[in-house]
Amino acid sequence: MNNTQNIFLKNNKLNIPIWFLRQSGRHIPEYFKLRNQESNFIDFCLNKELVVKSTKLPLKYYDLDAAIVFSDILMIPWAVDRKVNFIKGIGPQLEPMIPDETQILKNINIFNKLKPLKDSISILRKDLPKSKSLIGFAGAPWTLACYMIEGQSSKDFVNTRKALWNSNKWFMDLLDTLSIYVAEKLEMQANAGADVLMIFDSWSHMIPNSFFKQCGINPTAKIVDTLRSKNISKPIIGFPFKAGSSLINYSYESNVDCLALDWTVDLNWAKKNINSLITIQGNLDPASLIPNKSVFLEKNVLSILDIMKDNKFIFNVGHGLTPDCKINNVKKVIDIVKNYK
Q: Report in angstroms how near the CB of residue 310 gets to ligand CP3 at its nearest.
A: 29
Q: Which residues of 210-245 are buried (b: 16+ CB within 10 A; e: fewer)?
A: ebbbbbbbbbbbbbbebbeeeebebbbbbbbbbbee
- Based on CB atoms, which residue is closest to ligand CP3, 271 or 326? 326
We find the least distance from the C-beta atom of residue 156 to ligand CP3, in angstroms, to be 15
Residue 318 — φ and ψ, nearest 5°? -85, 0
Phi, psi dihedrals of residue 84, rounded to the nearest 5°: -125, 125
Residue 10 is a binding residue for ligand CP3 (CB under 6 A): no
Contact 63, 30 (CB under 8 A): no
Q: Which is nearer to ligand CP3, 84 or 183 (CB)?
A: 84
- Distance between CA atoms of residues 140 and 203, nearest Å: 9
Nearest CA among 215, 221, 263, 214 for reference residue 238: 221
Residue 18 is a binding residue for ligand CP3 (CB under 6 A): no
Smallest gap, in angstroms, from Cβ of residue 293 to ligand CP3? 25
Q: Give the whole-angstrom CA distance, residue 292 versus residue 215.
A: 40
Q: Are 268 and 289 in contact (CB under 8 A)?
A: no
Task: Find the binding residues for ligand CP3 in span 279-338 (CB under 6 A).
Answer: 320
For residues 76 and 110, which CB has a smaller minimum distance to ligand CP3 in the complex? 76
24 binds ligand CP3 (CB under 6 A): yes
User: According to the binding rule CB under 6 A, does residue 153 interact with ligand CP3?
Assistant: yes
> Please, what is the minimum distance in Å from the beta carbon of residue 234 to ligand CP3?
17
Q: Does 92 bind ligand CP3 (CB under 6 A)?
A: yes
Binding mask 122-141 for ligand CP3 (x = CB under 6 A): ---------------x----
Q: How many of the other CB atoms lie within 10 Å of CB of 285?
A: 16
Among positions 73, 75, 145, 221, the unique one binding ligand CP3 when judged by CB under 6 A: 73
Which positions from 41 to 70 touch ligand CP3 by CB under 6 A, shown as an x/- string?
x--------------------------x-x
| Closest distance to ligand CP3 from the beta carbon of 186 (Å) | 13
Q: Which is nearer to ligand CP3, 70 or 171 (CB)?
A: 70
3-state SS class at 155: coil
With CB under 6 A as the contact rule, the residue among 86, 170, 211, 263 that binds ligand CP3 is 86
Least separation in angstroms between residue 78's CB and ligand CP3 is 11
In this chain, which of 3, 11, 15, 35 binds ligand CP3, going by CB under 6 A? 35
How does 138-171 read in b/e, with b if 16+ C-beta sit within 10 Å? bbbbbbbbbbbbbbeeeeebebbbebbeebeebb
Report the length, in residues, of the chain.
Answer: 341
Q: How far apart are CA 82 and CA 80, in angstroms?
A: 6
Interface with ligand CP3 (CB under 6 A), residue from 22, 125, 271, 326: 22
Q: What burial letters (b/e) apply to 173-205, b meaning 16+ CB within 10 Å?
A: bbbebbbbbbbbbbbbbbebbbbbbbbbbbbbb
| Interface residue list for ligand CP3 (CB under 6 A) | 21-26, 35, 41, 68, 70-74, 86, 91-92, 137, 153, 200, 202, 320
